[in-house]
Amino acid sequence: MSGSKFISDRLFSLSKGHLSSTVMRLAVTSVALAIAVMLISLAVVVGFKHQIRDKVVGFVAPIHIQALDRNESYEEQPFVVDERLSQALDKTDGIKHYQMVANKAGMIKTDEEIQGVVMKGVGADYDWNYFKDYLVEGVVPQYVDGERSNDVMLSKNIANKLLLSVGDPARVWFIDEDMQARGRKFNVVGIYETGLSEFDERYVFCDLDQIRRLNHWEDNETGLVEVWIDDMDAMADVNNSLYFSIPGTLASYTARESNPQIFDWLDLLDTNVWLILVLMFLVAGITVISMLLIIIIEKTSTIGLLKAMGASDAFVRKVFMQRSIRILLIGMLIGNVIGIGFCLLQRFTGFIHLNPATYYLSSVPIELHLVTVLLLNAGTFVLWILMLLIPTSIINRIRPSKSIRFE
């Protein structure tokens, strides 16, 4: 055992008779709470951002291609997936699948209700894996190329408003170019609920051939091409590569560009979590500095005695730093147990619930990785140690001749 550690163990007491003992307990509590709050904040924000992103991207696709004359209406300009476009999609790295879709505005009318919707036409190549996780009733439609189907899948939100269920007929009215109303009778085969109110309130899935027929398109024309990629974090890079390889009459957009309001809202969460991290770091750091200052003041006579016996300033600082580091480590250990324990409990039980209409999720999401935990602990520990160098500098100014008589 080193001399500094021997003296440190006997110099600091946790008995209730000493002011420093109360301050040390307060410092441990402050560090523990700071670490726990920082871990929970990171886990919640990262989980929230990723789950919302995956929900939005799963609905609208990471990247979509459409005619260059992009407009704000749901009446799209048709184009053909020709050889040049197919080659661009096949040769761009990171793309795993693409599918043709088309949107058309319409109105569902029942005997008592009417609801404006967007009919999203999809083909036989459409990937239904995303919606299988959010299917609440019935089945997803199965379409076959060349065989026009009347099966549709609508959201629970629309179904509740119109009092529709699986097996019911749904008559949808459209306005053509001549401003004439045309009706089509569909059959509800599935009901989904993603929790994304902006989408659930609008979209009804139908056969792409139905949209083509309503718009007088050719069998090989489409309104959009949805592109799926291997890595969601590389969405912008893949889109940049794809944008310059497709024909000049077309343009590609990411899900973020198509829905900026949702992604801008998610970006604001980064500001909030950084604010929480800085506040927790400063609160705990200032508490630890205050603790060390109080201990130094309480032990001024002891510091003078050690110096009078020949101890150097560096040796005395080491005595106090060792105890401070021990307090930090104890507090961080407790904080990690609390923070990680809370995250695991929420992840596996979901006991804290959310309003899906407001937050798009039914419970608080949690996503915590080992690397995040290690980096957070290492970073805060190093910064707190640097902060502790401030109060220990006072030890250099203590003179044995005056401090031995200090009361």
CA atoms 242, 267, 58, 154: torsion sign: negative
The encoded tokens of residue 326 equal 């021990």
Tokens of 203: 């979209």
Residue-wise pLDDT for 271-293, tens only, equals: 888 898 999 999 898 888 888 88
Of 197, 159, 168, which Cα lies nearest the Cα of 59?
197
> What is the DSSP-derived secondary structure letter of residue 92?
S
- Tell me if 203 sits within 8 A of 118, measured CB to CB: yes
- pLDDT one digit per residue (tens) for the chain, 407 residues: 565 565 555 555 544 555 567 778 888 899 999 999 999 999 999 999 999 999 999 999 999 999 987 566 667 889 999 999 999 999 999 999 999 999 999 999 888 889 999 999 999 999 999 999 999 999 999 999 888 999 999 999 999 999 999 999 999 999 877 777 888 999 999 999 998 988 999 999 999 999 999 998 998 899 999 999 999 989 999 999 999 999 989 999 999 998 888 888 888 888 888 898 999 999 898 888 888 888 777 777 777 777 777 777 788 788 778 878 888 999 999 999 999 999 999 999 989 998 887 888 889 999 999 999 999 999 999 999 988 888 887 777 777 656 555 44
Cα–Cα distance measured from residue 80 to residue 172, given in angstroms and rounded to the nearest whole number: 27
Distance CA 303, CA 81 (A): 82
Does residue 87 contact residue 104 with C-beta atoms inside 8 Å? no
pLDDT value at residue 148: 92
Residue 389, φ and ψ in degrees, nearest 5: -65, -20
Cβ neighbors of 400 (< 8 A, separation 6 or more) are 304, 305, 307, 308
**The predicted structure's pLDDT at residue 8:** 59
How far apart, in Å, do the first and last CA atoms of the chain sit? 31
Supply the DSSP symbol for 39: H
pTM: 0.82
**Which residues, including other chains, have CB under 8 Å from residue 49's CB and lie 6 or more apart?**
266, 269
Q: What is the identity of the amino acid at 399?
A: R
Sign of CA dihedral 262, 266, 134, 157: negative
> What residues does each domain of the chain span?
3-55+263-403, 69-248
Q: 361 is written with which tokens?
A: 């999720």
Alpha-carbon dihedral angle through residues 184, 188, 192, 197, given to the nearest 10 degrees: 40
Three-class DSSP category at 218:
coil
